[in-house]
Chain A
C-alpha cells in the first residue's frame, strides 16, 4: 500500500519542551492541512498551534494506516511523539525527546537520531526503530507502577546504546539493543524478551518474575538472587530470532520476587570468564 506523506519542518530551534502528542497518524488522518496546522500543542506552558512551530507540507491519507508523517530535523525537545498511535508511520530525520511512542498500539516509528527516555513506554504493539541511542526506561512503565505494567507488545530495536532500566515492568514484546545498556535492564519484568548485544552495567533482571534476557557482552556481576540452571550451546536474539552461538550460562530468578524463579537469563560465557566459578554448581 502506498503511504501518503505529510512533512513537518521545524521553523526554529526549540528551547523548551514541546508536547506534540497530536503528531500521530490517527489525529492527522482525514484532515486538511489547515486543520492539522491548527492543532493545539504546548510549548513549555504556553498553548500554541502546530503551524506556529512547523512548516507543514504534503497530504494525509483517509485512514491512519495510509498516512506517513515525516519530521525533518528532529529535536530532543519534541516529547510524546506518536502517543497512543494506532497505525501508519512516523519517520523522524533527527532526534526525538522523551516519551516517543508511549502507549503506542500499532504502526511504525523510525528515528534516525537519538531518542529520549521512556521510548515506547507502556506500548502495546507496533514497531519502533532507533538508529542512534535511546535514553533510560525504554519500553518501561511510568514511574511507580506495578510489575507487568510496562511494555505489553510490539518490538523496539535500538541500534545504538540504551540507558538504565530498559524494559522495566514489561510483560510482553521484544527489545533489541545492539549497543550497551546501563544498569537494571528488565527490572520488574514479568514476560517478554530483552536482547542486548553489548555490555550491561550491572544488576540485570532485578525483581524479574518471568520473561528472558540475553546478554552477549560483559556483565560485571550476577545478582545473588539468581540460580544457575544450565549451560546452553546457542540461543536466539531479536524479533527475527537470529541464532547466535554460545556457550551461554542460563540463570533463573529472581528468587526475591518469586520463589518459582520464572525469569530466564542468558549470559555469554565467552565474554564473561569471571562467571566461571558458577560452573561448579552444575556438577
Chain B
C-alpha cells in the first residue's frame, strides 16, 4: 500500500527537520522519496495543520515476561476497572490498567503513537515466556533485555577477569535467548539476596559467595559490551535504588565506567534515575539529588538516562531487585510476591499507590522532572514512567505536557504536599521543552541509543512508523494550551505502523503484529566452542533445564528480525 502524507508540519530531529512542511511518502513499509509513488493510486492523508512525527520509541517499559504475568495474577482488582470491548475483525478485547493484558498494551501504545517498545528485564531462563508474550502484543515492535548481573556462569568469568571468554559467553547467551542488550539490576543484589543479604548493597560492598563488588560487575559487563560492540549500552538499574541518599551511588556508578568510554557515544544507560536520585537519610528527610546528577550529565558525555517519572495514582512495582521489593512490602503492607530464578536472578512485585499528599511521593514526582529539565542535552534524557513501577505508560501525554509547560507543572504543584513543593527546586525551573525537543526525547534519542537505524526518523529507508498528532504548532502554544497537547498525544490522529494505518482518530482500525528485534554477535568459532564446553558441566549442575532446551529457536518467535553484530573478538 502506498501512502502520501501531505502538508503536515514534520518533526524529525535525526534529519534536522524542525516543523517544516515536508511530504512523507510510504511504500512497502518503508519511507521512500515522493517521486517513487504513484499519486493517483496512493492513499493521500491531508495532514494540514497537524504535526507529523516518527513513531515513538519507549526505552524502558515492563510489558511482558513472567513478572508481568505474576503481577496480573496478583492484581485482579486492577482488571475490572478497565475493559476494552472487542470489535470483530478489528480489535480484540482486554482489561487492566497498571498490568494490562497483551492486546491492550499494543493498542494503547499505538493510540498514543508509540510503535517500538523495550521490555527491559527478563531472566534469561524465562525469556521464552517473555517472547511468547511479546509475540502476543499487537502492532508495536518489540525488544527485550535479558538480565546478566547475577548470572553465575558470567560472574565466574568476571571474577577471573577473563573478559574475552565472558564476552563470548554473553554473545552466546544473548543469541540463545534472543535478547538485545545487557540489563543489570542492582548488580550483585540478587546474588546476595540468596544469602539473605543485599538490602541496600552499595557499589563497593562485597558480594557474598564471590570475590567481587558491584563496581567490578558493572565494569566487567561494560567492557564486555564494548568488546561485542552491541548497539545499546549496558542498561543499569543502580544499586541502593529506592533508598534515601542514593544519588551518591548513582554518581559512583556513572563514574565507574568513565574511563571505558571511547568516541563520543554513551557507554552506560542509567535507567529510572528518579528512583536513584535522592538525598537525605530517611523518607522524611528525602531531598532532591537532581542537581548533582544533572551537573554530572552536563559535564560528561558517556552517560544516558531515562527518568522513571512518578505519576500519581496506582502502580505495580515489579523489579528484579528482590531485596528492594522486600523493603517495599514492609513500607506498603499488603500483597507481595518474591521469586528466585535458579542461577540467574531474583524478582519481586508489590502494588503501590503514589499519593499527592505524601511528602515522599510528591518529592519523587519533582525529582524526575527536575532531572529532565536540568540536563541540557535532550538526546540523553528519555522521559519514561518505567511502566508499571512509577506509573502507567498511558500517562506519557501528561508527562509530555509537564515537560512542555511550566503552567501544567504548577497546576500539579499546587495540589501536592506543601513541604515537598517548598523543598524541591522544580518550582524555580523555567525550562520548557519545544515540540522538537519532545520529538528528540521520545523518538529520535531512544532509537539512537538503542542503535535502531530504521526507527525514530523519517528519512528515506526508515521504517514507515509515522504518527500524526492533531497539534497545529503555528497556532497552539504548548506552554499555555497544555491540555490540548495532552489530548493530542493521548489519541493520535493517525498511527501508521510498517506502512499500514493502524489508528485513525484515536481508535484502532487494524490489528497487525510487529517484529521482535534480536542480536547475533559474531564470535570466533573456536572461542565459542571452548566456552560452551566449559559451561556445559556447570549448566548441568546448576540448571533445571538442559542447555539444548535453554536455547530459543528463531522459529519460536512470530517475526524475528536478527541483526548481526561485528565484534572485536578475535
Q: How far is the CB of B77 from chain A (nearest CB, A)?
A: 4
Contact A143 B76 (CB under 8 A): yes
- What 1/0 flags go to A141-166 for Cβ under 8 Å of B? 01111100000000000000000000
Q: Does any Cβ of A come within 8 Å of B92's Cβ? A: no
- The reply to whether A146 and B76 contact each other, CB–CB distance below 8 Å, is no
Per the 8 Å Cβ criterion, residues 36-92 of B in contact with A are 74-78, 80
Using CB atoms, name the residue of chain B closest to A147: B334
Residue on B nearest A149 in the bound complex, by CB: B77
Establish whether residues A142 and B80, one from each chain, have CB atoms under 8 Å apart when the complex forms. Answer: yes
Q: Are A142 and B334 in contact (CB under 8 A)?
A: no
**Complex interface: chain A residues within 8 A of B75 (CB):** 144
Cβ–Cβ < 8 Å partners of A146 in chain B? 334
When chains A and B are docked, how far (Å) is the Cα of A69 from the Cα of B3? 58
Look across to chain B and name the residue whose beta carbon is closest to the beta carbon of A258.
B333
Specify which chain B residues have a CB less than 8 angstroms from the CB of A142 in the assembled complex. 76-77, 80
Q: What is the chain A residue whose CB lies nearest that of B353?
A: A146
Interface residues of A in 130-148 (CB under 8 A from B): 142-146
Interface string of B303-334 (1 = CB under 8 A from A): 00000000000000000000000000000001
CB pair B334–A144 under 8 Å, yes or no, is no
Say how far A24's CB is from chain B's closest CB, in angstroms.
Answer: 19
Q: Which of the listed residues A142, A144, A146 has the most CB atoms from chain B within 10 Å of its own CB?
A: A144
- How many Å from the CB of A15 to the closest CB on chain B? 22
User: Which residue of A has the minimal Cβ distance to B78?
Assistant: A144
Closest to A145 in B: B77
- Tell me the complex Cα distance, A145–B74, Å: 10
* Most chain A beta-carbon neighbours within 10 Å: one of B76, B77, B78, B334: B77
Chain A's nearest CB lies how many Å from the CB of B154?
Answer: 37
Number of B positions contacting A (CB below 8 A): 8
Closest chain-A Cβ to B215's Cβ sits at a distance in Å of: 40
Closest CB in chain A relative to B173 CB, distance in Å: 36
B190 CB, min distance to chain A CBs, angstroms: 27
Q: Within B318-375, which residues are at the interface with A (CB < 8 Å)?
A: 334-335
- Residues in A whose Cβ lies below 8 Å from that of B78: 144
A144 to B96, CA, bound (A): 13
In angstroms, Cα B72 to Cα A144, docked, is 11
In Å, the complex CA distance between A144 and B314 comes to 14
Q: Within the assembled complex, what's the spacing in Å between the Cα atoms of A143 and B80?
A: 9
Which residue of B has the minimal Cβ distance to A257?
B333
Q: How far is the CB of A116 from chain B (nearest CB, A)?
A: 17
Query: What residues of A have a CB within 8 angstroms of the CB of B335 in the complex?
Result: 144
Shortest beta-carbon distance from A166 to chain B in Å: 19
Chain A's closest residue to B75 (CB) is A144
What distance in Å separates the Cβ of B336 from its nearest Cβ neighbour in chain A? 13
Contacts of A143 in B (CB 8 A): 76-77, 80
Q: What separation, in Å, do the CA atoms of A146 and B76 have in the docked complex?
A: 11
A143 to B73 alpha-carbon distance, docked (Å): 11
A99 to B534, CA, bound (A): 60
User: Shortest beta-carbon distance, A5 to chain B, in Å?
Assistant: 33
Chain A residues with Cβ under 8 A from B334's Cβ? 146
Bound together, the chains give a CA A250 to CA B504 distance in angstroms of 65
Alpha-carbon distance between A144 and B75 when the two chains are bound, in angstroms: 6
- When distances are taken between beta carbons in the complex, the residues of chain A under 8 Å from B77 are 142-145
* A13-B493 Cα distance, complex, nearest whole Å: 48
Chain A residues with CB under 8 Å of B76's CB are: 142-144
Chain A minimum-CB-distance residue to B93: A45
Q: With CB as the reference atom, state the residue of chain B lying closest to A143.
A: B76
What's the minimum C-beta distance from A61 to chain B, rounded to whole angstroms?
32
Give B71-123 interface residues, CB cut-off 8 Å to A: 74-78, 80
Task: Tell me the complex Cα distance, A17–B394, Å.
Answer: 33
Min Cβ gap B194→A in Å is 26
* Interface 1/0 per residue, B531-564 and A, CB below 8 Å: 0000000000000000000000000000000000
Q: Bound complex: CA of A145 vs CA of B77, how far in Å?
A: 6
Contacts of A144 in B (CB 8 A): 74-78, 335
Measured in the bound complex, the distance between the Cα atoms of B408 and A57 in whole Å is 56
Q: Which residues of B contact A145 (CB under 8 A)?
A: 77
Shortest CB-to-CB span from A171 to chain B, Å, is: 16
B72 to chain A, nearest CB (A): 11
Q: A145 to B78, alpha carbons, bound, how many Å? A: 9
Closest to B77 in A: A144
Query: What CA separation (Å) do A142 and B80 show in the bound complex?
Result: 9
Q: Digit string of A211-229 for contact with B (CB within 8 Å is 1, else 0)?
A: 0000000000000000000
Chain B nearest Cβ from A103, distance in angstroms? 12
**Complex: how many Å from CA A144 to CA B97?**
14
Question: Shortest Cβ distance from A104 into chain B, in angstroms?
Answer: 18
User: Within the assembled complex, what's the spacing in Å between the Cα atoms of A117 and B270?
Assistant: 49
Per the bound structure, the CA–CA distance linking A143 and B335 in Å amounts to 13
Chain A residue at minimum C-beta to C-beta distance from B73:
A144
Bound together, the chains give a CA A146 to CA B77 distance in angstroms of 9
- How far apart sit A64 and B335, CA to CA, in the bound complex (Å)? 40
B222 to chain A, nearest CB (A): 41
Contacts A/B (CB < 8 Å), 6 sampled: A142-B77, A142-B80, A143-B77, A144-B78, A144-B335, A146-B334
3 closest A-B pairs by beta carbon, nearest first, are A143-B76, A144-B76, A144-B77
Known contacts A142-B80, A143-B77, A144-B78; 11 additional CB pairs below 8 A are: A142-B76, A142-B77, A143-B76, A143-B80, A144-B74, A144-B75, A144-B76, A144-B77, A144-B335, A145-B77, A146-B334
